[in-house]
Amino acid sequence: MTMVKKILAVFAVFGLLAVLIAACGGGSGGNTGGTSVGNNTVHMSDTNFVQNAITIKKGESVNLVDDAAVVHIIQNGSWVNGVAEPRKEAGAPTVQVNFQGNDQHPIGPFNTAGTFHVYCTVHQNMNLTVTVQ
C-alpha cells in the first residue's frame, strides 16, 4: 500500500510539472522585430475591430484577420462622429485592402514612428489606431 501511495505521489508531481511547463512554454507574447506580423494581429468581427488599437515597432506590419463571413474595406482614415474621414497621415503606408470574409491580409510595413489610423469604409465607427514606436 505504501508503494502505491509513492507511485501516485510521483505521478502527481510529474503531472504538476507538465502543467507548469505547458503554461510557461508559450511564445514571447510581445511584438517581434523586422516585418513580422506573427504577434501583430488584429481580429475583425462582423462590424468592428476586436481591439481598436495596437502598438508595433518601426518597420513592422499588422496582420488583419476577418473572423466573420463579412466584407470589410480597410483604408487610411477614420470615422469621426459617425462621418467617414478618409485621410493618410504623413509617413503612413497606403492602406486599401478588401476582405471578402474569413480571410486575412497584412497592412504595412509602418516605417515611420507615429500614430496612424485606418477604418472600415463599410461599417460605421470601425476604427483602428496603429501606434508605431
- For residue 22, the model assigns a pLDDT of 41
Contacts of 108 (CB under 8 A, 6+ apart): 35, 37, 60, 61, 62, 93
What's the average pLDDT block by block, 10 residues per block, for the chain (133 residues)? 59 46 38 52 97 98 97 98 97 98 97 98 98 98
Domain of 3, CATH number, reads 2.60.40.420
- For residue 9, the model assigns a pLDDT of 54
Model-wide pTM > 0.85: no
Q: If you search the block for the grid coordinates 504577434, which residue do you land on?
A: 39
Quote the number of domains for the chain. 1
Q: Which domain holds residue 64?
A: 1-133
